[in-house]
Amino acid sequence: MSLSMYQAFVPPVVHQFSALSKILAKGMAFAGEKGIDPATLTEARLAEDMFPLAKQVQVASDVVKGGVARLAGIEIPSFPDTETTFPELQERIAKTIAFVESVSADQIDGSEQKTVTLKAGEQEFPFIGQDYLLQFVLPNFYFHITTAYALLRHAGVPIGKRDFLGM
Other Cβ atoms closer than 10 A to 135: 12
| Residue pLDDT, tens place only, 44-55 | 999 999 999 999
In residues, how long is the chain? 167
Average pLDDT value for residue range 134-159: 98
Instruction: Specify the CATH number for the domain of residue 106.
Output: 1.20.120.450
Cα separation, 43 vs 138, in Å, equals 24
Residue 111 and residue 71 in contact, taking contact as beta carbons nearer than 8 Å: yes
* Residue 105, pLDDT above cutoff 80: yes
Confidence band for 2, pLDDT divided at 50, 70 and 90: confident
Q: How far is CA 131 from the centre of its chain?
A: 18
Domains contained in the chain, number: 1
Which residues span the domain enclosing 123? 5-165
Q: How far is CA 40 from the centre of its chain?
A: 21
What sign results for the dihedral spanned by CA atoms 125, 8, 92, 43? negative
Mean pLDDT of the chain: 96
Residue 137 and residue 8 in contact, taking contact as beta carbons nearer than 8 Å: no
Cα separation, 154 vs 76, in Å, equals 33
Confidence band for 1, pLDDT divided at 50, 70 and 90: low
Q: What is the pTM of this model?
A: 0.95
